Amino acid sequence: MNIVLSDEALKWFTNEMDVSKGEAIRFFARYGGSSPLHEGFSLGVTKIEPDEASVQIEKEGVLYYIESRDEWFFDGHDLIVDVNPKLQELSYFYKKS
């Protein structure tokens, strides 16, 4: 399982979440909404230090990660993060690993 971030997503995190070097961004399963992988659950994102990161990638000095307790949500898929150009919001794609 991997995390893939587009250049546009990296810019979005800097501009919208005021992320800077040395900080961490967590992707997590949250109750509510829906996703292509699970009805009733969607993907959340927050700026917080890791507890038990199982998947991580560092880009421009920022750690992007998924905790081990949230791995079930991805069901063996890579997480691909981009930006929807019309909405200027993050968009998530899942590719079977």
CA-CA distance, 71 to 28, in Å (whole number)? 9
CATH superfamily of 3-96: HesB-like domain (2.60.300.12)
- The Cα 84–Cα 9 span in angstroms is 9
Residues 6+ apart with CB under 8 A from 8: 82, 83, 85
Structure tokens, 42? 């969607």
| DSSP-derived secondary structure letter, 32 | E
Q: Residue 67 and residue 54: Cα distance in Å, rounded?
A: 5
**What are the extents of the domains in the chain?**
3-96
pLDDT averaged over the chain?
A: 93
Its pTM stands at 0.93
The pLDDT, as a whole number, for residue 75 is 84
Tell me the pLDDT tens digit for each residue of 2-34.
999 999 999 999 999 999 999 999 999 998 777
Q: Is 42 left (phi over 0), alpha (psi -120 to 50) or beta?
A: beta
